[in-house]
Structure 1
Amino acid sequence: MTRRQRIISIAGGAFGLVSVLAFIGLSVFALLATTGLRGAVAFDAYTLAILRFTLWQAGLSTLLSLLFALPVARALARQRHFVGRRWLIRLMALPMGLPVLIGALGLIGIWGRNGMINDLLALLGKQQPVNIYGLSGILLAHVFFNMPLAVRLLLAGLERQPPEYWRIAASLGMTRMSIFRLIEWPALRGLLPGIAGLIFMLCATSFTLVLTLGGGPGATTLEVAIYQALRFDFDPPKAVALASLQLVITALLLAVLTLMPPPEDGAMTDERPIRRMDGEGTTARLCDGVVLALSAGFLLAPLLDILVAGLKSDLVKLVLEPAVGRALATSFAIAIPAALVCLVLSWLFITARATLQSLRHKTMLSRLLFRLIGATSSLVLLVPAIVLATGWFLGLRQFGDTAPFAAPIVVAINAIMALPFTMRVLAPAMAVHRHRTLRLCESLGISGFAKWRLIDWPGLKRPFLMALSFAMALSLGDLGAVALFGSDKLITLPWLLYSRMGSYRTTDADGLALLLGLVCLLLTILGTAGGQSEEKS
């Protein structure tokens, strides 16, 4: 790269970094300046009770997710050749891309008072139905979303074990317990702290699930309490106290998380011909088959309930309803710019880091900038969406009505919240592409827009489309920022869905959930279609 190109690349990364830090910093500053530090330290018994519940439900959710994930991951690792294994692993990835509100509605359809589980229990003579609301519902929903994530990460660790281990275990006639103690557990032991920390962080900062399934003051987390303090009570000092406490908790969790090795999801890339003798017996296959069937049923049942319930609603009438059309248009009007802003920021950050890393003479400033850009994706986890929205809501309120600023703020928050995911998709792809094409471009003297059109875009089209579709799906399914800024002038599809659920219009809610799910599924298909056609050609 020429000196001018290096300057432009580093300046672009610095501009993106300053923009993100300024947006987050202004939100935090407005949060503390609105009522002063007095509001941030005035914690009462109610606040401490919410804190205890937040940490308690996150700890229980993490423990249950790992307890259920371990046998499923081990069964998938042992049974490598059954029909449908690849699709079952892909099913484990589906809840991670599913809008949270849709998953919650599907769980209500299966586990709710009038759901399939309670109907079966009633046939067996049980009078007391299962209660989906409260702590039990929150735990169930968190296991539904986080157990598949843990399965994929644990499976990746098991499949990284050398094939020779399994051949030696078979030749020595080791029992399944000995294999677990001597081979599997050493591979899983180093992964569990990182996976547990990641799931705990996700559960502690959960908003939509707790808002939907919380069931009252006894089952409220910090993020939901912040929303209630502003949306219903309009108590800014209380909201500031809760938001400040949330910042402290997420900072501590993030600090602990950085000390743990990040787990890698490689479950779909490892297809080595490994033979596991401990999984070939009839008893082993039967036990593993039961575990895998139960896990598949647990994940598929809510999704099928959404499909069936949505088809029972009057979809045509719902789609033609003006409110639904406006909500869908508003969702796309937010999702498209949010995804594009997120992609631009990701491109600037990744390109700047690569340029800084290639410098022969690194200064203290270049090293600092390199680390700050690398930490940006983790920094956005420090300030959850509801805390960002609270700071901007309180700051903009000083200037009057917040409605004119609502849409741009929601776009910016959604773009920043999607950064960790898009950078994870783009960073490895851009690194490989840069390694393959750098010398070619230098020898041909191609740079600027010509390089992008002829070299970069054909080689990076697939990861860019994947990142774009994923960022749009995240924005389309978001309820955090919209829940605070939502009004008659800003109604997205998830907010309309939540409103219909709250007004007991369950048929409309089922139809809207199916519509939102189909839109997100279509985005995922479109995001991967370009790469697939390119590979075939």
Structure 2
Amino acid sequence: MAGRAQPIGHRGGLGAAAIVAALILGALIAVALRAEAGRGMGPSDWAAVRFTILQAALSAGCSVALAIPVARALARRRFAGRRVLIALLGAPFILPVIVAVLGLLAVFGRNGWISILLGWAGLPPLQIYGLHGVVLAHVFFNLPLATRLILQGWQEIPAERFRLAAQLGAGPRAMWRLLERPMLRQIAPSVLAVVFAICLTSFAVALTLGGGPGATTIELAIYQAFRFDFDLGRAALLSCIQILLTGIAAMVALRSSRGDGFGGGLDRPVQRWDAQGVLARIGDGAIILFAAGFLLMPLAAIVLSGLAGLFGLPASVFAATLNSVLVAAISTLVTLALALPMAVTVALGRGAFVEFSGLLGLAASPLVIGTGFFVVVYPFVDPSLLSLPVTALVNGVMALPFALRILVPRARQVIDRNGRLALTLGMAGWPFLYRVLLPRMRPQIGFAAGLAAALSMGDLGVITLFADAEQATLPLQVFRLMGAYQMEAAAAAALVLLSMSMALFWLLDRGGRWHAEA
């Protein structure tokens, strides 16, 4: 496709990719140059590195270990509400971290639901702060992601393989040994590496549930170096370590994702003759109920606890809400302005550099990029004056990889179907963009915009580096209320944040599909 005439140019995508690469790589270079040569790592820094690797390894291992039986149960069962449940598995991805943490505290905290039940039985309450709390929160966020990825592996096994195994008299154990275990050997290592990389860059979870110096991650150490010590050199050195670890995890994830697969099939519905027994049905049902309860209970706790304080919210919450909506709107525009031309360039087959730039947002965490921006602007202007614009810019760039995954397939499909006809009619450039491409991509554009807005609305990362005492987004305000032990107000503000995030996602996604071509 790259060798023939096209109805739209690719220079806009290359320019957008160059801007993204300059922003991210420029911030990373600024961080690297700020790191002091020969300074070395102190004992607390090494402790943060060890804890980061430990919690990421435990979180990834637990998430994948639990996701395997959940995905297997979903792959073997058909029941009313199955599609809704699978769709709900994507909810934690757009759920604000601070909201999920409050929900987990309401369920698993010292005064939470489970601790109350334990008290009735004469047992001590749960202790959620520390390593186990961080791992619990990461499992809550990453169990749905791991389940979706592993479930996709089960769905890629052709139905003919299961049919042939059944005709040969293969029982549950033989089916596991011949089909399911080989698939997991291909899928599970890459899923493990992806979740490990995500947990390496977790900030808000460690900030709220870390529980002291013994449970400090690298990202939290970077934050402490800025906010409490104002040691830019130490923060830069830790940022370099963070980039190195994340890059290694990303490379492992890419290499381990390669596999030959199981070949093609005839797209027939999969029938599982190995799962008809009563015990198998009970076991799969119990696993599905456990996963649904684990995911839905914290959300229910947020709604129930937030309603009580909804009418007594301080004025600062409303100001922070307006800031968050403003940041989400700007970051969404940034994401679309970059993602649309980049998606077109990739769809035209000229996107090697563009795809690389789009993936840069996954290689470096928002806090590290924020560190680079801080280092660059600090000699010239007070960084607190730029807190909201920088937060919106970084959030927009961070949502770019997900937006590209949504937009590129549809852009490629539209250009393949309509490109030659448009050239025949003399419709190229802007007329093709406005009259053909964008109208047919409206559902995907709305979905990408909703996802970007929801992710930005709930972000608690860069704003913590730049904001002063008088300025905050809604996630930061919820965190400040938690720090002041105003838990009822924090729960109510979290309910507002949850409602706003979901509303923005629904409105933009629905708006893109309104009268749009499917």
Tell me by how many angstroms 1:272 deviates. 4.7
Residues 177-256 of structure 1: pairs in structure 2 closer than 5 A: 177-256=173-252
Tell me by how many angstroms 1:159 deviates. 1.4
3-state DSSP class of the match of 2:89? Answer: helix
Q: Do structure 1's residue 411 and structure 2's residue 410 form an aligned pair?
A: no
Which residue number in structure 1 is paired with residue 335 of structure 2? 342
3-state DSSP class of the match of 1:37? Answer: coil
Query: Which residue identity is paired with 1:348?
Result: P
Q: Do structure 1's residue 278 and structure 2's residue 274 form an aligned pair?
A: yes
Residues 318-397 of structure 1: pairs in structure 2 closer than 5 A: 318=313, 321-357=314-350, 370-397=351-378
- Among 416, 419, 433, the alignment partner of 1:438 is 419
Say whether the 8 Å CA contact 1:99–1:517 is kept in structure 2. Answer: yes
Say whether the 8 Å CA contact 1:306–1:510 is kept in structure 2. Answer: yes
User: C-alpha separation between the residues in 1 aligned to 2:287 and 2:447?
Assistant: 32
Query: Which residue identity is paired with 1:280?
Result: Q
Aligned residues between the structures: 512
RMSD between aligned residues: 2.4
Residues 442-457 of structure 1: pairs in structure 2 closer than 5 A: 442-457=423-438
- Among 45, 48, 72, the alignment partner of 1:47 is 45
The superposition leaves residues 335-387 of structure 1 with CA deviations (integer Å, 9 ceiling, x where unpaired) of: 11111111111112122233454xxxxxxxxxxxx422111122222221111
Say whether the 8 Å CA contact 2:101–2:208 is kept in structure 1. Answer: yes
> Which aligned runs of 4 or more in structure 1 are off by greater than 6 angstroms?
5-8
Query: Which residue identity is paired with 1:27?
Result: A
Say whether the 8 Å CA contact 2:8–2:428 is kept in structure 1. Answer: no
Tell me by how many angstroms 1:252 deviates. 1.8
Tell me by how many angstroms 1:405 deviates. 2.4
Tell me by how many angstroms 1:490 deviates. 3.2
Tell me by how many angstroms 1:284 deviates. 1.1
User: C-alpha separation between the residues in 2 aligned to 1:163 and 1:18?
Assistant: 44
TM-score (norm 1): 0.90
Q: Do structure 1's residue 259 and structure 2's residue 255 form an aligned pair?
A: yes
Say whether the 8 Å CA contact 1:403–1:489 is kept in structure 2. Answer: no
Tell me by how many angstroms 1:524 deviates. 2.3
- Among 133, 136, 152, the alignment partner of 1:137 is 133
Q: Do structure 1's residue 89 and structure 2's residue 104 form an aligned pair?
A: no
User: C-alpha separation between the residues in 1 aligned to 2:376 and 2:187?
Assistant: 42
Which residue number in structure 1 is paired with residue 11 of structure 2? 11
Query: Which residue identity is paired with 1:336?
Result: A
Say whether the 8 Å CA contact 1:486–1:495 is kept in structure 2. Answer: no
User: C-alpha separation between the residues in 1 aligned to 2:271 and 2:149?
Assistant: 21
Say whether the 8 Å CA contact 2:443–2:516 is kept in structure 1. Answer: no
TM-score (norm 2): 0.93
Which residue number in structure 1 is paired with residue 263 of structure 2? none
Tell me by how many angstroms 1:145 deviates. 0.7
Say whether the 8 Å CA contact 2:445–2:512 is kept in structure 1. Answer: no
CA distance change for structure 1 residues 489 and 38 in 2, over 3 Å: closer, same or farther?
farther
The superposition leaves residues 394-413 of structure 1 with CA deviations (integer Å, 9 ceiling, x where unpaired) of: 22221242122222221221
User: C-alpha separation between the residues in 2 aligned to 1:528 and 1:262?
Assistant: 33
User: C-alpha separation between the residues in 2 aligned to 1:531 and 1:32?
Assistant: 41
User: C-alpha separation between the residues in 1 aligned to 2:178 and 2:84?
Assistant: 30
Q: Do structure 1's residue 125 and structure 2's residue 125 form an aligned pair?
A: no
- Among 443, 458, 463, the alignment partner of 2:444 is 463
CA distance change for structure 1 residues 176 and 356 in 2, over 3 Å: closer, same or farther?
closer
Query: Which residue identity is paired with 2:92?
Result: P
Say whether the 8 Å CA contact 2:343–2:408 is kept in structure 1. Answer: yes
Gaps of 5+ in 2: 260-265
Query: Which residue identity is paired with 2:286?
Result: V
Query: Which residue identity is paired with 1:425?
Result: I
Residues 45-194 of structure 1: pairs in structure 2 closer than 5 A: 45-79=43-77, 81-126=78-123, 128-194=124-190
Tell me by how many angstroms 1:19 deviates. 1.5
Query: Which residue identity is paired with 2:103?
Result: G
The superposition leaves residues 155-208 of structure 1 with CA deviations (integer Å, 9 ceiling, x where unpaired) of: 111111121222233333322222111111112211111111100000111111
Query: Which residue identity is paired with 2:246?
Result: T
Say whether the 8 Å CA contact 2:7–2:432 is kept in structure 1. Answer: no
Gaps of 5+ in 1: 264-269, 358-369
Higher mean alpha-carbon deviation, 30-39 vs 413-422, is at 30-39
Query: Which residue identity is paired with 2:250?
Result: L
CA distance change for structure 1 residues 173 and 301 in 2, over 3 Å: closer, same or farther?
same
Query: Which residue identity is paired with 1:283?
Result: L
Tell me by how many angstroms 1:30 deviates. 2.8
- Among 288, 313, 316, the alignment partner of 2:311 is 316
CA distance change for structure 1 residues 355 and 506 in 2, over 3 Å: closer, same or farther?
same
User: C-alpha separation between the residues in 2 aligned to 1:10 and 1:488?
Assistant: 45
CA distance change for structure 1 residues 276 and 356 in 2, over 3 Å: closer, same or farther?
closer
User: C-alpha separation between the residues in 2 aligned to 1:533 and 1:415?
Assistant: 24
Which residue number in structure 2 is paired with residue 421 of structure 1? 402
Say whether the 8 Å CA contact 2:347–2:411 is kept in structure 1. Answer: no
Say whether the 8 Å CA contact 1:9–1:348 is kept in structure 2. Answer: no
Tell me by how many angstroms 1:326 deviates. 1.6
CA distance change for structure 1 residues 272 and 236 in 2, over 3 Å: closer, same or farther?
same
- Among 475, 498, 516, the alignment partner of 2:456 is 475
User: C-alpha separation between the residues in 1 aligned to 2:27 and 2:505?
Assistant: 32
Query: Which residue identity is paired with 1:439?
Result: R
3-state DSSP class of the match of 2:441? Answer: helix
Tell me by how many angstroms 1:307 deviates. 0.9
Q: Do structure 1's residue 28 and structure 2's residue 31 form an aligned pair?
A: no
Tell me by how many angstroms 1:33 deviates. 3.5
User: C-alpha separation between the residues in 1 aligned to 2:178 and 2:349?
Assistant: 43
Tell me by how many angstroms 1:489 deviates. 4.8
Which residue number in structure 1 is paired with residue 262 of structure 2? none
3-state DSSP class of the match of 1:232? Answer: helix
User: C-alpha separation between the residues in 1 aligned to 2:121 and 2:377?
Assistant: 56
Higher mean alpha-carbon deviation, 504-513 vs 278-287, is at 278-287
Say whether the 8 Å CA contact 1:10–1:356 is kept in structure 2. Answer: no
3-state DSSP class of the match of 1:161? Answer: coil
CA distance change for structure 1 residues 213 and 2 in 2, over 3 Å: closer, same or farther?
closer
Tell me by how many angstroms 1:536 deviates. 9.3
Tell me by how many angstroms 1:452 deviates. 2.9
Tell me by how many angstroms 1:7 deviates. 12
Tell me by how many angstroms 1:118 deviates. 0.6
